Amino acid sequence: MSKLISQLSQTGRYGYTLPQTAIDEYSTDSIFDNLKRSKPYHACGLNEYDVYEYFNSLDLKGENSITNGADYTLSILDDISKLDGFTGIHPYQLADAGQGAFELLFTLRHMLCDMLGVDMISLGQVTPKQSLMSIMLMIKSYFASKKEPRNKVIAVDGVCPFAVKTLESMGFETVSSTCSLDEIKHLLSSDVAALFIRTPDDTGVFASDILKITQAVHDAGALCVLDGKNQKSLSGISRPGEMGFDCIMMALCDLFDIADKFAGDASYLVGVKADLVDFVPVPMVEIDDLEQHYFDYDRELSVGKPNEFYGNFTSWIKALGFILSQGYEGFVNNAKACKLNSEYAKLKNGTTSTVNACVDKRRIDE
């Protein structure tokens, strides 16, 4: 058992001594008696290095009690991603020589579609900017096909400022708004192309009026885009597609406990509903009449290829491995833990949060 800091103390050992000040004389008469020490204070005799080592060890113990399981999962997924069958393939090799990799991507795509309640998912993006640009290009192409010139995007508070700058760089006019239904209705017009929102936000607060908000946006002829950074708190409980979202963007590491997106193996997904399927980036993995997987580039309305190759294959392996290891119950338990954390944040910060919208809809298959 580790010793307490007082047990590590040694007489005559000093840490840091504060420099002398210009105040030679001082009085404690103005301090209430109940706030004064009745006995002299005896500080622990430790040097600076020992103090640092003590508190650093406490910090490591606290972290390890939480992350040991996650580290174990990551190590297994890392081992899986390094199997010879995965590391020995090349992006440009013939399709019939990589059917296992094609099947992995095909299976992952359909599982993610079911989890998020969307009709098609693209996994070719490796940066958030690529994800957002892919979505907005699809939205722009969608309204161009309907001959409706729309160039405004309502960005709800909580959306990353970087995303707002990206929208502006693409020629969209951004309008800021709170998550208030009345305010969003007031801003809706024939010029609005989309509503961009992050819910739950980074404080764990969920937009309880999200069904009414998305319905109002659709009534105005616009589309709804979700930044799914915090979607883990709803996985297995509700699905963005059933909340009324037409597009969703998120990093795989935000939904699954796989390697961090800053470690060089980031992968982002873009999910869309049926109206935007024709505009999804290429290539898409499909199955021919001989039940062979292949890359489908023959999509006339596609917005193009977002990446030089096909995306981050290592992250796809880990994501599918995580899904299969967790199962339906695992995702539900993860979501409940996230909800519990948000309740602690609510009590501490005095905010309100509800995660009750769409819970009566069909859940993802086990």
- pTM of the entire structure? 0.74
The arithmetic mean of pLDDT across residues 169-175, rounded, is 94
Confidence band of 352 (pLDDT split at 50, 70, 90): low
The arithmetic mean of pLDDT across residues 29-35, rounded, is 85
CA separation for the pair 173, 118 (Å, rounded): 27
Between 133 and 70, the higher pLDDT residue = 133
Architecture of the CATH domain 98-349? 3-Layer(aba) Sandwich (3.40)
Whether residue 349 has pLDDT greater than 70: no
The whole-number pLDDT of residue 12 equals: 78
Q: Which of 92-96, 144-148, 344-348 has the lowest mean pLDDT?
A: 344-348
Q: For a pLDDT cut of 90, what percent of the chain falls above it?
A: 45
Confidence band of 24 (pLDDT split at 50, 70, 90): low
Query: Over the stretch 56-101, which tens digit does the pLDDT of each residue have?
Result: 888 776 554 444 445 556 678 888 888 988 988 888 888 888 899 9
Whether residue 191 has pLDDT greater than 50: yes
The arithmetic mean of pLDDT across residues 320-348, rounded, is 82
Q: What is the 3-state secondary structure (H, E, C) of the chain?
A: CCCCCCCCCCCCCCCCCCCCCCCCCCCCCCCCHHHCCCCCCCCCCCCHHHHHHHHHHHHHHHHHHHHHHHHHHHHHHHHHHCCHHHHCCCCCCCHHHCHHHHHHHHHHHHHHHHHHCCCEEEEEECCHHHHHHHHHHHHHHHHHHCCCCCCEEEEECCCCHHHHHHHHHCCCEEEEECCCHHHHHHHCCCCEEEEEECCCCCCCCCCCCHHHHHHHHHHCCCEEEEECCCHHHHCCCCCHHHHCCCEEEEEHHHHCCCCCHHHCCCCEEEEECHHHHHHCCCCEEEECCCCCEEEECCCCCCCCCCCCCCCCHHHHHHHHHHHHHHHHHHHHHHHHHHHHHHHHHHHHHCCCCCCCCCCCCCCCCC
Q: Which of 45-54, 209-218, 221-230, 236-245 has the lowest mean pLDDT?
A: 45-54
Whether residue 364 has pLDDT greater than 50: no
Residue ranges of domains in the chain: 98-349
The whole-number pLDDT of residue 30 equals: 84
Between 42 and 153, the higher pLDDT residue = 153
The whole-number pLDDT of residue 334 equals: 82
Confidence band of 283 (pLDDT split at 50, 70, 90): very high
Q: Which of 5-9, 115-119, 243-247 has the lowest mean pLDDT?
A: 5-9
Joined together, the tokens standing for residue 148 give: 């409706």
Instruction: Give me the residue label for tokens 């949060």.
Output: 353
